[in-house]
Chains A and B, each alone.
Chain A
């Protein structure tokens, strides 16, 4: 990449944004022609503002010579547009609210890319993350309200906040900072038992505690999907930093034990598994959701029924967890796979950023948030297609929901900032003091 050519990154981004803009405006036009939009003015103005905001961000970044990855933002813009188009098609009220959240998310993105380019400062506060994370998980248990079977929402008056969406970022920040410090100890071990180096409890203790607490809390919140995401992200980061398959293996075993235990103790866990094995047996009750999702996906065929021609009203929770089923019914297998490919590109870019990073903290942070995004997408996509047991989580950037959308924009901002640093480092970035400290450990 020819570093030094000014705004090279933003130029690529601009070309991609042209495609996204055409897509968004076309979508809005089709919605209007099919009579699915509230009124011409609302939909056209909404689409124009959305597109304009994407361009404004791109323009601002080129002014400040921001060198974040040029592919991530257009991808996210495309996800966000798809989300608005389909939410509008399902229920314009959802699209209107999601539009507001999208603007909020873009503002967060702008702010973070402006003010947090020196993200290394985040490495200092690992125990604060742990504490804040635990508080974020405990609060809903006592003060939370239940939505869709999971008690993980805080009612803040005019909107409700799903704290676990933000806690997952705190989890990654904690793990990235902790492992940056203790990476070598965990990899090599300080004691040797039968020729295998083992780390002491001081090194792995905090990890296990953090992990255990989050899982137990999630079981109490009945939010299995989020628990699964936390846990798999945890394993991903540990593997990235230590490269020890044995940790993943032990972790996997612990997970299976926990899963087995919760299978026998918790009815809602047992139900999920039974539905997964045979949804038809419980079709009138618990299996209804996933069966409807499969019906919708199958109804799409290869090319889809066409927007507005599907029957998404038969799918429960279609605007949140099951939005992918509605999209596949109307855009077909082709549209569904196109979305999957875009998530693959996002994940791929994320890992490339992690590989290019100049220090362990940046690298682990990039791995962590990319894994978070990728795993969450995979878990919900595999759930609605019955490839894995269904656990209700949102599809990043597409499902309806403000907490999830804003949290995902924070992830995007962090990734872009790491990428910006990677692309700046060779010529002008002064080596941060912290990094040399970290390397010394």
Chain B
């Protein structure tokens, strides 16, 4: 019986020990997320006793600041989706919510400082954060989209820093912070609006990519067959795939890779993708991160809806051909298209996208800085170079001439995605300068018609604006 009692004693003590370890786990590993959970009412209580930190753009312009206890968003509806808002009633969204921990100075062991502040009766001041968003690009993108529904995503292909995430229609976060009777049911109206102004189309949209997906189809062919760059195909204006006729916009005659890209020849990309096979196509799409979330495993800086694509075992020949030209069941979000474009710009490597540049304490002392890192290797540098040259040709003499900027080599690709809601969605993806890319951008205008006409000029102006500013160190 003594042995049995020892077993029991041991069992109970072990249980308590596990409990202690588990508590350490809650505190250390779940702690930061729990502390800034939007449901945690401590946030609001803390808000009352602290001067919330400022959010700056990468140029040092404030995007969100507190004055006389009121939260002000200088860009108003132009950065509403990405910055988010803080409201007692409607919760917390965007970067305001994700970085509550910094803005309210809740992370780290600031216990002693805090105690002194409390005893002295001083108001605590939160930390300031600097984000990668460029307010000029962001505003410009919103102005160019104007009354159209659409989105723009721009990033630095060399680092993954997200420079702009525009989404229209938008909303004014300044109104949501006001007293309830002054709001006139603003939030409820937004929720009921069938154009979904609260949705961040730039990262949560699910759009058929249309011909901009030929970047992926092209990469599939180049990765599968070293000679694909020199392949020639005779385009007859349509092609047979698995018993279906896949139409083309024109009879392009004999085309090679670069020519096919610049005139956006469906027959060429459908043929080379079918030659490479559905497994190769699916694998390449995965290498580009099509169904992955770049923030996987950590708290997402923005709500991100990964793309979707039929699995190879569910894909027949007709589906493969139409997927290769971005129709079929392929869906992407604009930020994702910008990342795919960035892979071409950055010799096949996709940097992990990020929005938080750095964190500074109330007196300016640096607390944190994001180190850019690689996310995926989408393809070989050689493949990326072939696609880049084809994209340069597209802007120089093909469907993307509207994106040309004198004195700069722009690489781009148009897309006009058929969809059940009316006119085609106008797509344009581009990066520049082609020889040393500083910006990759994806533009979509919902039901805007052809990408070359509706979307390319927007991309052009954003690139032009970015290249105006001096090269950053």
Contact = CB atoms under 8 A, between A and B. Distances in A.
B250 interface: no
Contacts of B4: 239-243
A344 B16 contact: yes
Nearest to B7: A239
Given A239-B4, A243-B4, A340 B16 contact: yes
A343 B4 CA distance: 21
Interface string B21-35: 011101100110011
A309 B45 CA distance: 12
B183 interface: no
B9 interface: yes
A251 B22 CA distance: 27
A247 to B, nearest CB: 11
A378 interface: yes
Given A239-B7, A280-B39, A351-B8, A360 B1 contact: yes
A337 B23 contact: yes
A439 to B, nearest CB: 13
A421 interface: no
A300 interface: yes
A381 B35 contact: no
A348 interface: yes
Interface in A265-320: 280, 283, 291-292, 294-295, 297-303, 305-306, 309, 311, 314
Interface in A370-401: 371, 374-375, 377-378, 381-382, 385, 387
B19 A381 contact: yes
B5 A351 contact: yes
A344 B20 CA distance: 11
Interface in B334-384: none
B39 A301 contact: no
A325 to B, nearest CB: 11
A250 B19 CA distance: 26
Given A348-B9, A355-B5, A360-B1, A343 B16 contact: yes
Nearest to A387: B22
A46 to B, nearest CB: 26
Given A295-B37, A333-B24, A387 B19 contact: yes
For the side of the interface on B, what is the size category? Answer: 35 or more
B122 interface: no
Contacts of B37: 291, 295
Contacts of B35: 295, 298-299
B124 to A, nearest CB: 13
Instruction: Find the residue from B26, B34, B45 having the highest chain A CB count within 10 A.
Output: B26
B13 A348 contact: yes
Given A240-B8, A243-B3, A295 B34 contact: yes
Contacts of A239: 4, 7-8
Contacts of B15: 378, 382
A294 B4 CA distance: 36
A240 B1 contact: yes
Contacts of A236: 8
B236 interface: no
Contact of A347 (B9, B22, B27, B111): B9
Given A301-B109, A303-B111, A309-B118, A347 B13 contact: yes
A306 B41 CA distance: 19
B251 interface: no
A295 B19 contact: no
A294 B12 contact: no
A123 interface: no
B16 A301 contact: no
B111 A355 contact: no
Contact of B8 (A297, A341, A371, A381): A371
A378 B8 contact: no
B180 interface: no
A302 B27 contact: yes
Nearest to B10: A351
B286 to A, nearest CB: 29
A225 interface: no
A294 B39 contact: no
B6 interface: yes
B182 interface: no
A336 interface: yes
A127 B413 CA distance: 88
Nearest to B12: A374
A295 B40 contact: yes
Contacts of A387: 18-19, 22
A378 B27 contact: no
Contacts of A83: none
A367 B5 contact: yes
B5 A302 contact: no
A354 interface: yes
B115 interface: yes
B2 interface: yes
Contact of A294 (B6, B19, B30): B30
B109 A311 contact: no
Contact of A340 (B5, B19, B31, B42): B19
A89 B35 CA distance: 23
B12 A291 contact: no
A363 interface: yes
Nearest to A378: B15
A377 B12 CA distance: 10
Nearest to A300: B27
Contacts of A375: 12
Contact of B42 (A306, A314, A328): A314
Given A344-B16, A360-B1, A301 B9 contact: no
Interface string A159-201: 0000000000000000000000001000000000000000000
A381 B1 CA distance: 29
A294 B26 CA distance: 8
A121 B36 CA distance: 58
Nearest to A337: B20
Nearest to A324: B23
Contacts of B13: 344, 347-348
A54 to B, nearest CB: 25
A385 B41 CA distance: 18
Interface string A336-371: 110011011001100100110000100100010001
Interface in A237-258: 239-243
Given A298-B31, A303-B111, A354-B5, A347 B26 contact: no
Nearest to B111: A303
A385 B26 contact: yes
A335 B310 CA distance: 53
B21 to A, nearest CB: 9
Contacts of A333: 23-24, 27
A355 B109 contact: no
B118 A295 contact: no
Q: Give me the 3 closest cross-chain CB pairs, A-B, nearest first.
A: A351-B9, A298-B34, A243-B4
12 contacts: A240-B5, A243-B1, A295-B34, A297-B27, A301-B27, A302-B109, A309-B118, A328-B23, A344-B16, A348-B9, A367-B8, A374-B12
Given A240-B1, A351-B9, A375-B12, 12 more contacts: A239-B7, A240-B4, A243-B4, A298-B30, A301-B31, A333-B23, A340-B23, A347-B13, A348-B9, A355-B5, A385-B23, A387-B22
